[in-house]
Amino acid sequence: MIKIKTALISVYHKEGLEDLLFSLHNHDVQLISTGGTYEYINKLGYKAIKVEDISDFPAILGGRVKTLHPKIFGGILGRRDHLNDVNEMNKYGISAIDLVVVDLYPFESTLASGAFHQEIIEKIDIGGISLIRAAAKNFKDVVIIPSSSYYKTFTEIYNRKNGCTENADRYFFAGAAFNVSSHYDTAIFNYFNKENTHQSLKLSFCTGKALRYGENPHQKGFFWGNSDEIFTQLHGKEISYNNLLDLDAALNLIKEFSEPTFAILKHNNACGLASRENLSHAYTDALAGDPVSAYGGVLVTNRVLDETTALKINDLFFEIIAAPVYEKKSLEILKQKKNRVILQVHTAVYSKQIVKSALNGLLVQDADHKTECVHDFRNVTDKAPDAKQMEDLVFANIAVKHTKSNAIVLVKNKQLIASGTGQTSRVDALKQAILKAKENGFDLYGAVMASDAFFPFPDCVEIAHKEGINAVVQPGGSINDKATITYCNENNIAMVVTGNRHFKH
């Protein structure tokens, strides 16, 4: 146990600091501070020594240099059980510092605010980060509070142990300190490396949680990130690893639509999707797309979930429902099942990159945020799609973009009537979709087809045409495009190409 006698405090965020200062004052701790923190301490009625009075050197360069001095860092780094260190501290009049409290300049929030370059640069903390590392390195003798988020934790431990800390406490806070400093440096590096000038990948998340398990019960699972930015859980059991994967797919799909739309997903693929004038009809038609697969699925919509729709979906067993807003009555209905997860979705910025483990490293790519609209479609056949077909082609192209490759989707009247997902051949994906559509009672005449990649041969459009499908959207780019286009022209099929493949694995 080590009793804290002297504390150096230099923080940006003062919220929560008052309770800590009160405890330190009650245990007769000598306070050292500088700048705004010194003024804050004085306003609370506590006495403090200025850093400048210890170093006998003023803050210079507009405050860029304040604590960087041997009398400060010697007091932190000096080893109390090391005779040479003790002798040198005595020789140069260096007093030991037992506690260091730091809260760094807010680099990340300044960056996120859209501030100008020079303002961002000025929020790179130098003295604070150095204090954190120094105190953490000498955790055997010094305790470090590395950010405002640890004020409360330390205060509780400190009060419970009557103004002292144990080695285990100091070790814990040292770990927290290097977590804070490494995350801070990662954010700065990534700012300077926006153009990937340096072939180095640095990822850092300071928030996360252990999940019940991973993809399967014998696998451990974790989520790193702040899901509270994306949604608020209003009801239900703990969200699982697989739930989060489905939810990610669902939210990325639903944000593509502006009309009232309802989607049902299983294993990251939409098994139901429809856009209608009102949400109740959208849900009914989404469910009709594949009512068997909908069992145990993830439901998502882009509109207020009303009572009428809630009554309908309450009859279905599902894992999660996600919506931007819920009517009070609809929540009461949905909460009847205790394990049903109900999420209120916030407007949020989703990941700009996709990171996957591969071999002994990571694969990183930009997220697929390219979504084609009517103006991106290029008609390549004699027959052009009519207005109704064009609506369905846009809808189908969105749906296939969010379906696992090889993927084919069939759409009619802005309703997903079937999809072929994750097949090793495009023909098999189409056959799977046709079989599904027929099993669920859909008439394929007048439907449209979308493919996530080009047709290597005309076989898919031939099979689709024989089922009554008369409009197609695909990326194009095959050496056999001409043969496919020729078949379409000979059989009065309209086909547009987008120029963009949408593989999803």
| Cα–Cα distance for residue pair 335/342, rounded to 1 Å | 8
pLDDT at 350 over 90: no
Average pLDDT over residues 452-471: 96
Q: Which of 352, 354, 371 is nearest to 363 (CA)?
A: 354
Burial of 437 from C-beta contacts in 10 A (0-12 / 13-18 / 19+): buried
Helix (H, G, I), strand (E, B) or coil at 150: helix
Catalytic site includes residue 267: yes
Average pLDDT over residues 263-281: 97
Residues 469, 476 contacting (CB under 8 angstroms):
no
Under the banding of pLDDT at 50, 70 and 90, the label for residue 313 is: very high
Does 269 sit behind a cis peptide bond, omega within 30 degrees of 0 on the bond before it?
no
Mean pLDDT lowest for which of 45-49, 261-265, 378-382? 45-49
Average pLDDT over residues 371-389: 96
**What integer pLDDT is reported at residue 184 of this predicted model?**
95
For tokens 């049903």, name the residue: 340
Residues 267, 241 contacting (CB under 8 angstroms):
no
pLDDT at 349 over 80: no
The residues near 213 (Cβ < 8 Å, ≥ 6 apart) are 219, 220, 221, 240, 241
Under the banding of pLDDT at 50, 70 and 90, the label for residue 348 is: low
Under the banding of pLDDT at 50, 70 and 90, the label for residue 35 is: confident
* Three-state SS letters, 66-123: CCCCHHHHHHHHCCCCCHHHHHHHHHCCCCCCCEEEEECCCHHHHHHCCCCHHHHHHC
Average pLDDT over residues 402-425: 96
Instruction: Tell me how far CA of residue 377 lies from CA of 393, 456, 471, 496, in angstroms.
Output: 9, 19, 13, 6
What does the CA dihedral 144, 150, 153, 157 come to, rounded to 10 degrees?
Answer: 10
Q: Which of 11, 57, 18, 65 is nearest to 33 (CA)?
A: 11
143-159: pLDDT as tens digits: 999 999 999 999 999 99
> 503 phi and psi, to 5 degrees?
-60, 145
**What integer pLDDT is reported at residue 301 of this predicted model?**
97
| Cα–Cα distance for residue pair 426/454, rounded to 1 Å | 9
Q: Which of 165, 166, 159 is nearest to 27 (CA)?
A: 159
Choose the catalytic residue: 137, 281, 312, 335. Answer: 137
Choose the catalytic residue: 5, 267, 312, 388. Answer: 267
Can you give the pTM of this predicted structure?
0.86
| Cα–Cα distance for residue pair 429/406, rounded to 1 Å | 7
Instruction: Tell me how far CA of residue 396 lies from CA of 252, 270, 284, 390, 433, in angstroms.
Output: 15, 12, 18, 10, 13
50-96: pLDDT as tens digits: 988 888 888 888 778 888 888 899 999 999 999 999 999 999 999 99
Mean pLDDT lowest for which of 70-74, 309-313, 394-398? 70-74
Residues 131, 76 contacting (CB under 8 angstroms):
yes
Helix (H, G, I), strand (E, B) or coil at 438: helix
For tokens 């609506």, name the residue: 391
Average pLDDT over residues 225-253: 94
Which DSSP string do the residues of 302-324 spell out, in sequence order?
Answer: SS-B-HHHHHHHTTS-EEEEEES
The residues near 160 (Cβ < 8 Å, ≥ 6 apart) are none
Average pLDDT over residues 285-291: 96
What does the CA dihedral 82, 88, 92, 93 come to, rounded to 10 degrees?
Answer: 30
Q: Check residues 348 and 440 and name the one with the higher pLDDT.
A: 440
**What integer pLDDT is reported at residue 149 of this predicted model?**
92
**What integer pLDDT is reported at residue 51 of this predicted model?**
86
Average pLDDT, the chain: 94
pLDDT at 467 over 90: yes
The residues near 387 (Cβ < 8 Å, ≥ 6 apart) are none
Average pLDDT over residues 180-204: 92
| Cα–Cα distance for residue pair 210/454, rounded to 1 Å | 41
